[in-house]
Homo-oligomer: A and B are copies of this chain.
Amino acid sequence: MEYQKDKGISQAVINRIPRYYRYIQDLKNQNVMRISSKELAATMGLTASQIRQDLNCFGGFGQQGYGYNVEKLCEELAQILGLHRDRKAIIIGVGNIGRALIKNFNFPGSGFTLVCGFDANPDIIGKKLGGIEIQDISRVEDYVRKNKPDIAVLTLPRTAAPDIAKLLVKEGIRGLWNFTGEDLHLEGLGIPVENVHFSDSLMTLCYRID
């Protein structure tokens, strides 16, 4: 059964789902069979009532006096997130951060297969890295038109971000995972963007230190 989106669930709840999924998946990997909202709350640093409230937004998978069936909840959360759809991602910019993602990041664990990389550096064009081929950046437009990847991971310099985003949208990209530091807002075009800013969490830490 396909999970139905857009039931008026708040963005705040949706933003917490990946975190639930990570914790429940860890429990599953530790062969935990079931967990109460109270135990889960203690592990996650939340309250039991918040957990029940959040998971109820999606139908509620717990039973009173039993708690949550870990394997079932894990599958349901993956279903909600759409992780089973195995979408295709390309990565644009193979510098340090691009390389770190290609080599170390578990794309399939977040619902994507990384299929191709692009860069302007002739030293790496045509080579393979972490199982994917690095192509010339000048070919990205053509590639997207023909191969229809779902999302692009932007790990190129900030100044190049707006132009490449425009080009990708024109060719039908459906989402951007943006590490360039340039906030991109394409929601008006129906293209979700996740803008990742390392500095935001470090500044928050700076604030929180006494």
Contact = CB atoms under 8 A, between A and B. Distances in A.
A82 B206 contact: yes
B174 A110 contact: no
Interface stretch (A65-73, A159-167, A197-205): A197-205
A127 to B, nearest CB: 16
Contacts of A196: 198, 201
A187 B204 CA distance: 14
A201 B151 CA distance: 13
B17 A207 contact: yes
A153 to B, nearest CB: 9
A1 to B, nearest CB: 17
Given A82-B207, A203-B110, A204-B18, A97 B95 contact: no
Contacts of A23: 183
A81 B206 contact: yes
A104 B110 contact: no
Q: How many copies does the complex hold?
A: 2
Interface in A86-138: 87, 95-97, 99-101, 103-107, 109-112
Given A100-B97, A199-B22, A199-B106, A174 B210 contact: yes
B95 A104 contact: yes
Contacts of A109: 199
A208 interface: yes
A103 B111 contact: no
B99 A205 contact: no
A15 interface: yes
Nearest to A187: B45
B104 A96 contact: yes
A141 to B, nearest CB: 21
A199 B78 CA distance: 13
8 contacts: A19-B197, A87-B206, A97-B97, A110-B206, A111-B206, A176-B205, A194-B202, A194-B208
> What are the 5 tightest A-B residue pairs by CB atom distance, in nearest-first order?
A96-B100, A192-B208, A18-B203, A111-B206, A110-B202
